[in-house]
Amino acid sequence: MTPSVDDVAELEPFREGVFDLDPFGLRGVRCAVGHYTFPVRTFCGTCKSELVEPVPLSGGGVLHTFTVVRQAPPGVSVPYLLGYVDLPEGCRLMARIEPRPGVEPAIGAPVDLVPAIFSDGGSSADRLGFAFAIRNEHPDPKERHDA
């Protein structure tokens, strides 16, 4: 299951500057023209302008495409879903996709940013990372109660 931020707050982020913790969200930059770039760079990824300011990015996006990875090098447990997510700001980024039981992943599916544990199978400590979870558009009242 998706951990809450409180569950994972003691973990070190897998990399500096990729996301903020409170509230949990990805960080990017916006240039004067209005292009958004992820991750944070010192310039705009689209127009290369150096006049950029840091901004929080949307927590929701759309699944552009995905795959189920069933074979990977040692230290990576399979299977897992990997996808490209389009953010409304115009960024496309790669991320783990957390499946939702009973919902087939599909191109165009809405997804939401969630904290995730990045593990290499135990050779180094678990780290705090991010993933996108397939949104439950038709929540089951029982599931809502459990949550």
Partner 1 sequence: MLDPAHVAGVGMIRFGKYPATVTLERMAARAATAALADAGATADQIDAIIVGHVFGGPVAGQRIAVELGLDGKPIANVENYCASGATAIREAWVALSAGLHDVVLVIGVEKMTDRIFGGVRPDPNDLDAAVGYVMAAGHGMSARRYMSDHGATRAQIAAVAVKNHAHSVNNPYAQYQVPISLEQVLQARPIAEPLGLLDCSPISDGAAAILLCNRAGLARLGVSGAVPRVLGCGLVSGSLRSGDEPLNAEDISRRAAQEAWRLTGVGPDDIDLVEMHDCFTIAEIVRLEGLGLVPVGEGARWTELGHTGIRGKLPVNPSGGLLSRGHPVGATGVAQACELTWQLRGTASGRQVAGARTGLAYCKGGTVSGTDGGSVTTLVMQA
The residues binding partner 1 (CB under 8 A) are 14-15, 18, 35, 37-39, 45-46, 64-74, 76, 80, 82-84, 86-87, 90-96, 107, 118, 129-131
Is the separation of the CB atoms in 36 and 29 below 8 Å? yes
Q: For partner 1, give the closer residue by CB, 45 or 135.
A: 45
Name the E strands within the chain. 19-21, 24-31, 36-37, 52-56, 60-69, 80-86, 92-98, 110-118, 127-134
| Number of residues that this document lists for the chain | 147
Q: For partner 1, give the closer residue by CB, 34 or 139.
A: 34
Q: For partner 1, give the closer residue by CB, 45 or 60.
A: 45
What string of DSSP letters covers 44-81? -TTT--S-EEEEEPPSEEEEEEEEEE----TT--S-EE
Least distance in Å: CB of 101 to partner 1?
18
- Rounded (10°) CA dihedral 47, 51, 53, 59: -10
Q: For partner 1, give the closer residue by CB, 62 or 136.
A: 62
Least distance in Å: CB of 22 to partner 1?
22
Least distance in Å: CB of 147 to partner 1?
25
Least distance in Å: CB of 111 to partner 1?
14
Least distance in Å: CB of 135 to partner 1?
19
Q: For partner 1, give the closer residue by CB, 62 or 135.
A: 62
Distance in angstroms (rounded) separating the CA atoms of residues 97 and 142: 23
